[in-house]
Amino acid sequence: MSDSLQELYGRTGRTITDRDAQDITRVEELSYDLKTSDVMTRDVQCLAPMDTMRAVFDLLRKYHISGAPVTENDTLVGVISQEDLMRAMADGDQHAPIQKYMTKKVITVKSYEPVVKALEIFARTKIGRLPVVDENEKLAGMITKGDITRGVLIAIRKDYQEEEIRRYRASHLFEDIISDRTSLILRYKIKPRDFTNGGQASSHIKRALLRLGASPQLARQCGIAVYEAEMNLIFHSNNGGVLRVQVEPRRILMQTSDDGPGIPDVKQALQPGWSTASELARSMGFGAGMGLVNIQRCVNKMDLESAPGKGTKLFMEIHLRSDEKFKAPPESPEGPGV
């Protein structure tokens, strides 16, 4: 993983794009999320230490497997492999008990450990299959690289389907409802000087956009713009204000409005680094006069209307690229004919 990431992100001075950085794979996350017990094979053919090597031969041949765990009262006491069997055969010792030939020091993985733990062992030891034991060292199953691949694929497919259904439910709004102009409006009241909850509205907006099928980049872009705007209301407005987001199939309109104090010189306010922020705003990590500049960078159109004593209105508009516009997936997830 590390090598491929290195290759992907490069030490060659190539700029890392947003898309690259977001590519930190779901697969990698899954290897931490999934437990070995989620992907292991539970139905395992076991042998007992006092079974004969002949029984090993029969079992391996019957199930076309290359080895089997050896258990005593469900507790793992060893593993026996094709190679052990060949040694016994070479000794003409097919009636010997398994315990004479089995490997007693077995590398295992715990059923509650993440899949990545098993992957680490596979990489380190070149072992192809690992017994999975529970907290009491009882055999719970066996795990192979194939089990992990299958488990991850199933999880991804499930993820993907859930996500598609969620998005479909939200985004078909724009497809199924016919009007000359369809839009979804989200409104949030922002309280002045509410630093504890500052950013909560923006957080909700970002989440809503993702639900509606926005790409992570688009959601991030909007999130950053509305967050700066929300913080402006919190820091500067007399009585708070309203944050309003209007989602349309091809654009997102965002707007904040308040009833004062208003900005005396709008042109000056748009200068990078110009700030009238309080010490408090600065202590919160804002108020360096970069907020509006940052918003401008995130949106396609920005308009600031303000006059002292009258309040401030900030309009922001993001146009969706044609491949980004909100739309339902081509087929309904329930499948045709339902």
**Which tokens belong to 261?**
């104090």
* 229 close to 292: Cβ distance less than 8 angstroms: no
List the alpha helices (DSSP H) in 177-307. Answer: 200-211, 216-236, 266-269, 279-283, 291-298
Q: Would you give the binding string for another protein spanning residues 87-116, x where CB under 8 A is met? A: -----------------------------x
Which one among 131, 141, 213, 223 touches another protein, defined by CB under 8 A?
Answer: 223
Which letter does DSSP use for residue 240 in this model?
-
What's the min distance (Å) between Cβ of 29 and another protein?
Answer: 7
Environment class of residue 68 by beta-carbon count within 10 Å: exposed (0-12), middle (13-18) or buried (19+)? buried
232 lies in the site for another protein, by CB under 8 A: no
- The footprint of another protein on residues 275-314 (CB under 8 A) is 283-286, 288, 290-291, 293-294, 297
Give the nearer residue to another protein in terms of CB position, either 45 or 197. Answer: 197
Which one among 67, 151, 198, 241 touches another protein, defined by CB under 8 A?
Answer: 198
Give the nearer residue to another protein in terms of CB position, either 101 or 286. Answer: 286
What's the min distance (Å) between Cβ of 314 and another protein?
Answer: 16
Does a cis peptide bond (omega within 30 degrees of 0) precede residue 261? yes
- Three-state SS at 30: helix
199 lies in the site for another protein, by CB under 8 A: yes
Which one among 29, 74, 265, 331 touches another protein, defined by CB under 8 A?
Answer: 29
Strands (E), the chain: 67-72, 75-81, 109-110, 129-133, 139-144, 184-190, 241-247, 251-258, 301-307, 311-319
* 93 close to 42: Cβ distance less than 8 angstroms: no
What's the min distance (Å) between Cβ of 197 and another protein?
Answer: 8
Which one among 216, 260, 261, 329 touches another protein, defined by CB under 8 A?
Answer: 216
**CA pair distance 271, 188, nearest whole angstrom:** 28
**CA pair distance 187, 246, nearest whole angstrom:** 9
Amino acid at 50: M
195 lies in the site for another protein, by CB under 8 A: yes
**Window of 76-84, 137-145, 163-171, 217-225 that interacts with another protein by CB under 8 A:** 217-225
What's the min distance (Å) between Cβ of 9 and another protein?
Answer: 5
What's the min distance (Å) between Cβ of 118 and another protein?
Answer: 15
Give the nearer residue to another protein in terms of CB position, either 149 or 283. Answer: 283
Q: How do beta strands 301-307 and 241-247 pair?
A: unpaired
**CA pair distance 247, 249, nearest whole angstrom:** 7
Give the nearer residue to another protein in terms of CB position, either 170 or 209. Answer: 209
Residue 293 neighbours by CB under 8 Å, 6+ apart = 270, 272
**Window of 71-79, 153-161, 218-226, 256-264 that interacts with another protein by CB under 8 A:** 218-226
Give the nearer residue to another protein in terms of CB position, either 16 or 307. Answer: 16
Three state DSSP letters for 152-196:
HHHHHHHHHHHHHHHHHHHHCHHHHCCCCCCCEEEEEEECCCCCC
What's the min distance (Å) between Cβ of 14 and another protein?
Answer: 10
Give the nearer residue to another protein in terms of CB position, either 75 or 283. Answer: 283
Where does this chain bind another protein (CB under 8 A)? 1-2, 5, 9, 11, 15-18, 20-22, 24, 28-29, 32, 116, 195-196, 198-200, 202-203, 206, 216, 220, 223-224, 227-228, 231, 272, 283-286, 288, 290-291, 293-294, 297
